[in-house]
Structure 1
Amino acid sequence: MSWSRLCAAKVQGGMGFKSLRDFNIALLGNQAWRLLSSPDKLVSRVFKVRYYPNGSFLTAKLGSSPSYIWRSVYEAQSLLSPGIGCRVGNGQDIDIINTPWLPTTANPYIHIHSASLENQKVSSLMRVGEIVWDEDLIRDLFEDRDSEIILFIPLPYGVNDSCYPIAILHKNRNDIIWKQHASGSQELVNSALSILNQWKSVQDKSFDSSLGYICPEVGQEQWHLPESNSVKINTDAALFENPSRHSYAFIIRNHYGDFVRAVTKCSVGRVAPEFAEALRIREALSWIKNNQQSNVVLETDCLQVVQMIRSSFSSLSYLGRLIVECRTMMEELSHKNVLLKFYAILCNDLRE
């Protein structure tokens, strides 16, 4: 009996043996991940200079006269690629095309494949000498869907490009065996990011998830006026399937309940719900900071994002970056008496 037959599942007439090749590829994948996650290590720098000087491991080619070690590690590239996302920092190490760097659940790759973008880095889409998107250039080069998603990617200064892993393949394997259902690679990526973020927020012991800690009005089911000489900002986000869009909005009212201002924006592209929720909070905090507003109560109905912001949550994903930005702005606005609170979703209908 052949080894491939022995490795087949028992229900398929095999013996259920583990494939030594698959096991070896998995171990090599661990080493390949080290090349991606630790680019400053000596071995990573040696491989980059030799095999992918103008790109990353994800876009590397086998090349001519490869060493035995490189040939072995390269075998894991196809295994890692569907489960890796790239997060833009300074944009100097990420290729514009053929690299999954867009934070969207629909398709993380740039749609356009122009010859002028070959071997071009994401940093070329930023203003010269700045870590800021060149909006005019981006809108000229890309279609609406891609340009809107790119312009929504946060770019904190002094952060390098990085990759983040996805680890939900075992669930997909079980679905194939027991439910005869196979998820696509992008579906796996999105599911894993959501599960990872939820697990980290739950595991964080520095945050008390009780409603009493988050909002003093325990069991509150009605919108209340802010205190005297203060304003209240209520935020909301929405996702649309057809066409794929996401939007956010927030409304500002004074202590009399009078309307002060409302801000809303709708963008092309599908993003994870947690990302949309964090995005609306960041935009509201940016408005507070830019308008030098003080004595503000910022209310949101997303408990998970509130937990992440008020804890030590961190992640290599775009969501993690948004959370860090929100937390940083909250600290900068601490002297302005800005409070972030969670309110029950029942308040949605009552505060209108």
Structure 2
Amino acid sequence: MAMSKFWWKSDSSKDKSIHWMCWSRLTAAKCKGGMGFKNLRDFNTALLGNQAWRLISFPDKLLNWDPTLSYIWRSVMEAQALLVQGISCCIGNGQTVDITNSPWLPSIEDPFVHSDNKAISNQKVISLFKIDEKAWDIELVLDVFEERDAELILSIPLTENDKDTWYWRHEKMGHYSVKSGYNVIQASKNQPNTVDNSRFWRKLWNLKIPNKARRIQVNAQCPVCNLCDESAIHSLVTFSFAVECHQFSSVKQVAGDYHIFTEWLQMVFEQSNNRDICIQEDGLEQWCPTSSNSVKVNVDAALFTDPNRYNYAIVVRDHLGHLVQAMSKCSLGKVVSRAIRECRHQRSP
């Protein structure tokens, strides 16, 4: 709360100030559209994770393990969920690592064993070694575990270390850091299937611009007609080109008083039946036959800005769908729509 007031409150505002963006947006990383501020609660949890990591690395540390009496122990327990997301066991002698309940597989996403076999229940990793030899019993592993678990187990190199040790999967050196712990907490908050626009934000933050801009001149008028202020209702409803599009579509002009686009759209739905508004699936129009003893002419055109050329095509078919005549032509030149010509004519003296 103190950081939020420091950021939004100005010298002129004594008591009240407007918070233009929620704190969760401000604490997001700069590459994700935020300001990069630290979430103090999450940062404190990452610091507690460092203390919990020290207890795991040095289990002989003196500490009162009674969670009802020890304030230190209760604080360290706050970081338990964080360590579970990134801690794994490096296999040494395999005597202390439980096969099914310990995170020991070399997988960042999921280091746990998923094979459901009663033979490995409550067993240690050492039971998967060959007798009198520190090597994987390949036949046993392939017979007991599923394909995914077996491939991960056989990919683990067995070293001469006598003890099983813990390591942090999110650091190359395997040691926990407050920075990586904080990043894990923030990553767990992100919603799945979100669009990755980190490249855009990195380019934006790397722009060579002044640190502070006093005033920015913004032209509110429509850049095409320069007659009305640019808004959603002007661009999509009242603009002359939008009116022409409505005339060729199934959307009819509605009568009433509307000021924003959502009001106009709601009036369209209220004054039209569901059959009057037709939207083709996937945006593709389907050809419909005409009445008997008549033909239908379909026309389409495309404009290309480089190198200033346009193309049009005409197809004539009878009521049975049989082709009568067809032609297409590509020509050089710049085509200006009738709406823009009318705007220019209205602006000219």
Q: TM-score, with normalisation over the residues of structure 1?
A: 0.37
Q: Which has the larger radius of gyration?
A: 2
Structure number with higher helix proportion: 1
Identify which of structures 1 and 2 has the higher relative contact order when contacts are C-alpha pairs closer than 8 Å and 6+ apart: 1
